[in-house]
Amino acid sequence: MKIIPAIDLMEGKVVRLYKGDPNKKTIYSENPLEIAKKWESAGADMIHLVDLDATLGSGSNFDSLKNIAESVKIPVQVAGGFRSEKIIEEALKFATRVVIGTLAFKDKTALDRLLATYGNEKLVISVDHNDGLIVVNGWQETTKTPLIEAVNDFKKMGFSEYLSTSIVRDGTLQGPDLEPLKKINEIDGVNLIVSGGISNIGDVIKVKELNPFGVILGKALYENQVTIEEAKGI
């Protein structure tokens, strides 16, 4: 299981949001590159970079994402506001993987083209959910699409890489929502990254028992409730 620290960017600063709410943010650093290098030297397998301004339609941290990706040696996965083929194409010039959320649900034709061009290893489908229903548009819109149905549909299209965040757990330190994760992970040919609610090493152990592709560490890492070294050691 890969240990993947998250670096969420808003106005160039490293922040964490509570349940995705931009009005409930905590700033942890004004130097995201320094944080990326810190996580890299701690032994992270990959860095998960999120452009919250692009997600919310209030700006862009694209240059910062590029700078970080080009300054570390480990793989970088970028997420947040990648809603056009052009920006995904630009991001894949420097990022190992791009996470696609809203576009995946709104434009299957574009998604098919991206899959044909880049293959399934570089494209990660974001199946974020609110109590089992898919959410899109920076978590502002809950759809009627059930989580498991969505994963199965994308799998039929040829996708294998998934990221699932429980938005009611994200930034809460209340522990991960394990039941839906188990169901996704039971689907053959699915590589799942688990995100949302991790609070301590015990939660990381519970997630590892599901044998997913990776786990994202966010608030617990920034609040010193878990370390990358601990997570790597289990």
**The tokens 């609110």 sit on which residue?**
130
State pTM to two decimals. Answer: 0.96
Q: What are the tokens at 52?
A: 């919250």
Taking residue 158's Cβ as centre, other Cβ atoms within 10 Å add up to 14
Alpha helices (H) along 15-125: 32-42, 52-56, 62-71, 85-91, 102-106, 108-118
Residue type, 69: A
Helix (H, G, I), strand (E, B) or coil at 106: helix
> Which class does domain 2-233 fall in?
alpha beta
**The tokens 């991206």 sit on which residue?**
114
Instruction: Write the CA distances from 124 to 146, 162, 200, 203, 218, integer angstroms.
Output: 18, 5, 26, 23, 19
In the chain, where the domains are located: 2-233
Positions marked catalytic: 8, 128
Percent of the chain with pLDDT over 90: 91
Phi, psi of 106 (to 5 degrees): -100, -25
Positions of the chain with pLDDT lower than 70, given as ranges: none
Instruction: Write the CA distances from 234 to 2, 45, 56, 163, 227, integer angstroms.
Output: 11, 14, 36, 22, 11
pLDDT in tens, 115-137: 999 999 999 999 999 989 999 98
Q: At what angle do helices 147-157 and 178-185 cross, to 10 degrees?
A: 30
Q: How many CA atoms lie within 13 A of 174 on its CB side?
A: 11
Q: What is the pLDDT of residue 175?
A: 92
pLDDT in tens, 130-170: 989 999 988 888 999 999 999 999 999 999 999 999 888 98
